A and B are shown apart, each in its own frame.
Chain A
């Protein structure tokens, strides 16, 4: 079955810096890769997703890149702000299977 590895587990940056979180997956059939943000005590919320026919997707300060050959995808946050502080989960989905989450990255943005 699918296995998703996520790194780093914790990430501390200064406000205005960029943050990068990386994930690798094992199942070459996986074709959908969402990223969820979970603030303390709140529900996970989708912030961006990418499908296997696309190499990069951007939404304002957030971008995701996908390398299908290497089976890894990354979340990039530019110009970080304190409200970006949260736990970020990557996930991978192969058709007909369940969404498999990475273990999460705790991002702390200090002002």
Chain B
């Protein structure tokens, strides 16, 4: 059973054209995360929501925004994608913060042309 679902799995956008990636979860977890993973690199946390509280990592570019309209859904908005934003974007959830397992979605691979 899918627990963390990401749509679409593959997304192609043009340079500078806004794009939105979607994540939903059936786990009823309090925390939702967005990671960026470039080829052969570690996942890098962009931001997370604890319930409705938004927490941005200090080095996340302003070009990246997020919305969490309800417990189940979280969106990643890239306002003006650049070629350097091409990557796999992973959504993850956890029951709480701290020493606890994070459940990852399958990811959305973003291509910027």
Contacts and interface: CB of A to CB of B under 8 A. Distances in A.
Interface stretch (B11-19, B35-43, B74-82): B35-43
A44 B90 contact: yes
Nearest to A4: B42
A99 B45 contact: yes
Given A44-B43, A44-B104, A95 B90 contact: no
A87 B101 CA distance: 18
A101 B42 contact: yes
Contacts of A51: 99
Which interface class (under 10, 10 to 19, 20 to 34, 35 or more) fits A? 20 to 34
B40 to A, nearest CB: 7
B41 A103 contact: yes
A95 B98 contact: yes
Interface of A: 4, 31-32, 34, 36, 42-46, 49, 51, 89, 93, 95-96, 98-99, 101-104
Interface of B: 4, 40-45, 48, 57, 90, 97-99, 101-102, 104-107
CB-based closest 3 A-B pairs:
A101-B42, A32-B99, A43-B104
